[in-house]
């Protein structure tokens, strides 16, 4: 706890410049796709040196707010739910590496999301959605002897069901969870020998979605996710 006699910490100049540039972006002074002012213009505007400006710009770049390109002016990025969550990727991977018990919590969260979203999918699906899901199952079946492609098709199948809800925030959240889970868990699983079971379960999920039977779709997805969660790491 600070006291009235504690010294006031001095902020770095780059933090001050960052705050002002961040405000420019948030307040719309520069729009997505627009170039940021040149380094020289920023140096003159704020009365600071080039290293200070570059550090502030690099912080914005790390946050995904701008893209810094060598020899060109930085440009403002369009921020979407997906790009915002992408900023958590590194932290999420670190968390799952140093505290692996959180993988179980993440899988539980995924289950809650997907059971709710497969219900929505059964209620809202279109013929185009069904065509896409059948195509992904065919792709996965063709990749049964190529584990990396099989897993990629598995992720795409679940992501396509999630997308039927048409909610970009939910889609981005669920896709992020899928990526984090499969990155930390999927490549370690004993996929060999489970391909036919996975494909059969996927077909049953799609059949329930096609029939607009929301309760059956939830039941089939629950069976599939619970079995997948029980797969053991490779020796």
The domains of the chain are located at 13-79, 85-229
Taking the C-alpha atoms of residue 165 and residue 119, their distance in angstroms, rounded to an integer, is 9
CB atoms under 10 Å from CB of 138, counted, come to 12
User: Average pLDDT for residues 91-96, to the nearest whole number?
Assistant: 84
Tokens 């797969």 -> residue:
231
DSSP-assigned letter for residue 6: S
Measured over all CA atoms, what is the biggest interatomic distance in the chain, rounded to whole angstroms?
A: 71
Q: How far apart are CA 95 and CA 181, in angstroms?
A: 12
* CATH T-level assignment (fold) for domain 85-229: 1.20.120
What is residue 102's predicted lDDT score, i.e. its pLDDT? 87
Q: Reduced to 3 states, what is the DSSP secondary structure of residue 60?
A: helix
Residue 167 has pLDDT above 90, yes or no: yes
What is the C-alpha to C-alpha distance for residues 59 and 77, in angstroms, rounded to an integer? 14
**Per CATH, domain 13-79 is 2.70.98.60:** no
Give the per-residue pLDDT at 2. Answer: 54
Count other C-beta atoms under 10 Å from residue 164's C-beta.
23
> Is the pLDDT reported for residue 48 higher than 70?
yes
Q: Residue 188 pLDDT more than 80?
A: no
Instruction: Reduce the DSSP state of residue 76 to 3 states and report it.
Output: strand
Percent of the chain with pLDDT over 90: 60
Instruction: Evaluate whether 208 touches 122 at the Cβ level (below 8 Å).
Output: yes
pLDDT for position 112: 93
> What pLDDT, in 10s, does the model give residues 130-150?
999 999 999 999 999 888 899
């Amino acid at each position: 706890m600070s006291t009235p006699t504690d010294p006031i910490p001095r902020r770095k100049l780059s933090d001050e410049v960052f705050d002002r540039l961040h405000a420019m972006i948030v307040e719309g002074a520069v729009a997505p796709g627009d170039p940021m002012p040149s380094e020289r213009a920023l140096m003159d505007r704020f009365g600071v040196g080039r290293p200070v400006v570059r550090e502030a710009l690099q912080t914005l770049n790390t946050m995904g707010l701008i893209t810094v390109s060598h020899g060109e002016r930085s440009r403002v990025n369009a921020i979407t739910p997906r790009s915002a969550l992408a900023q958590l990727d590194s932290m999420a991977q670190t968390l799952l590496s140093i505290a692996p018990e959180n993988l179980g919590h993440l899988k539980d969260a995924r289950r809650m999301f997907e059971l709710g979203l497969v219900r929505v999918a059964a209620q809202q699906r279109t013929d185009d959605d069904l065509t896409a899901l059948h195509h992904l199952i065919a792709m996965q079946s063709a990749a049964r002897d190529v584990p990396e492609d099989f897993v990629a098709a598995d992720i795409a199948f679940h992501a396509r069901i999630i997308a039927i809800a048409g909610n970009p925030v939910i889609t981005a959240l669920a896709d992020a969870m899928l990526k984090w889970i499969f990155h930390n868990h999927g490549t370690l699983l004993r996929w060999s020998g489970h391909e036919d079971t996975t494909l059969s379960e996927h077909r049953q999920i799609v059949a329930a979605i096609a029939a607009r039977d929301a309760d059956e779709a939830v039941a089939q997805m629950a069976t599939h996710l619970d079995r997948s969660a029980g797969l053991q790491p490779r020796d």
